[in-house]
Amino acid sequence: MIFRLRSPVAVVCGLLISLATWAQAAELPRQESVPGGIAVIKLDTSAEHPPKASYKGKPVMVLRHQDGWYAVIGIPLSAKTGKHLLKTSSAGRDKTYRFQVKDKAYETQHITIKDKRKVTPNADDLKRIRAESKQISAALSHWDDRAYTDSPLLELPAEGPLSSPFGLRRFFNELPRKPHSGIDIAASKGAPITAPAGAKVILTGNFFFNGNSVFLDHGQGLITMYCHMDTIEVREGEMVERGQRIGTIGMTGRVTGPHLHWSVSLNDARIDPGLIVPALQPSLAADQPAPGE
């Protein structure tokens, strides 16, 4: 299946969209309350300003949609099934909401990597990997109250077939590794990669596993990551517009061929991009937001 970008919506470069502006126009992502999914909870408040919300001690995106405020919660792939808690605070009033996380079975993928160091790194590699992991973790957990985009919904950052879906339980050279925390879009080396929404560039670099990579902060805990790039065409601290070119597809890092690995992170949880990218969503109506308990 070939996924193609929709026409990008122009925004002013460097413009910060205020929370109020986002709140008035925001569309909600599709809800799927599973590991690697999104829970959308309507908050019981009529406050003029957005309540503060947190999940597992981390701040959570809150949007105004139609008739009220909604918390949009990223659920980690490691989340256990059962009841989970969302905590909110508004005008001095604290409240806890309960929501259910259901089970989801992800498929298995076996990959053969010729460069065995990319599967079993040596001591020097491990030292580098540990240092890089701190940088990556800091970027993915970054929080900014401001919104850098006109909508929390994203465009696809590249054109091409979806070669590996989200959530796969992966084995490299038959050794178990972490689940696939994004999607892979296959394309020729040098094909363009574009920003899926307005954002601030918060990290760029060359990493052992991820190769040439870019991290974009779209605001309120929504971070996107682009890996295995050939060229990087943005700088840290730069503001980018929806549809702006940020680099090209390559095959750097741990790869078997040219492609873009794209991850979407919400409150430091890697989520299925299909829930927040309209071009990837099925034609079925989205699940209704959970009322919370």
What is the tens place of the pLDDT at every residue in 214-259? 999 999 999 999 999 999 999 999 999 999 999 999 999 988 889 9
Strands (DSSP E) contained in 238-284 are 239-240, 245-249, 259-266, 269-271
CA distance linking residue 230 with residue 158, whole number of Å: 14
> In the sheet that 169-172 helps form, which strands lie side by side, from edge to edge?
108-111, 169-172, 175-176
8 A C-beta contact, residue 36 and residue 75 = yes
| pLDDT in the model for residue 14 | 37
Q: Kindly list the structural domains of the chain, giving each domain's residue range(s) and its CATH number in brackets, ordered by start.
A: 20-104 (2.60.40.1590), 108-278 (2.70.70.10)
| pLDDT in the model for residue 217 | 98
Q: Hey, what are 103's tokens?
A: 């089970």
CA distance linking residue 29 with residue 263, whole number of Å: 16
Q: For the chain, where are the alpha helices, taking DSSP H only?
A: 19-25, 123-140
| pLDDT in the model for residue 284 | 35
pLDDT at 9 over 80: no
Q: Which range among 51-60, 108-117, 194-203 shows the weakest confidence by mean pLDDT?
A: 108-117
| pLDDT in the model for residue 176 | 60
What is the tens place of the pLDDT at every residue in 158-181? 999 998 889 888 676 666 677 788
CA distance linking residue 287 with residue 290, whole number of Å: 9
CA distance linking residue 45 with residue 27, whole number of Å: 19
Q: Hey, what are 180's tokens?
A: 């696939």
| pLDDT in the model for residue 16 | 42
Q: What is the pTM of this model?
A: 0.85
Mean pLDDT in residue range 137-155: 92
Q: With bands split at pLDDT 50, 70 and 90, how would you rate the model's confidence at 282? A: low
User: Residue 192: which of 229, 218, 225, 224 has the closest Cα?
Assistant: 229
User: Residue 73: which of 39, 22, 30, 33 has the closest Cα?
Assistant: 39
Which residue is listed with tokens 């406050």?
A: 47
CA distance linking residue 21 with residue 12, whole number of Å: 14
pLDDT-above-70 percentage for the chain? 85
Q: What is the mean pLDDT of the chain?
A: 85
Mean pLDDT in residue range 273-277: 94
pLDDT at 12 over 50: no
**Between 57 and 8, the higher pLDDT residue:** 57
Query: CB neighbours (10 Å) of residue 120?
Result: 12
User: Residue 29: which of 219, 289, 292, 291 has the closest Cα?
Assistant: 289
pLDDT at 116 over 60: yes
Mean pLDDT in residue range 106-121: 78
- Which H, E and C letters describe 150-181, residue by residue? CCCCCCCCCCEEEEECCCCEEEECCEECCCCC
Mean pLDDT in residue range 264-272: 97
| pLDDT in the model for residue 167 | 83
pLDDT-above-90 percentage for the chain? 63
CA distance linking residue 58 with residue 243, whole number of Å: 29
pLDDT at 20 over 50: no
Q: With bands split at pLDDT 50, 70 and 90, how would you rate the model's confidence at 15? A: very low
| pLDDT in the model for residue 46 | 78
Q: Burial level of 245, CB count in 10 A (0-12/13-18/19+)?
A: middle
pLDDT at 286 over 70: no
| pLDDT in the model for residue 151 | 83
Q: Burial level of 276, CB count in 10 A (0-12/13-18/19+)?
A: buried
Cα 148 to chain centroid distance, Å, stands at: 15
8 A C-beta contact, residue 84 and residue 37 = no
CA distance linking residue 212 with residue 252, whole number of Å: 6
Helix, coil or strand: residue 30: coil
Which residue is listed with tokens 């929504």?
A: 222
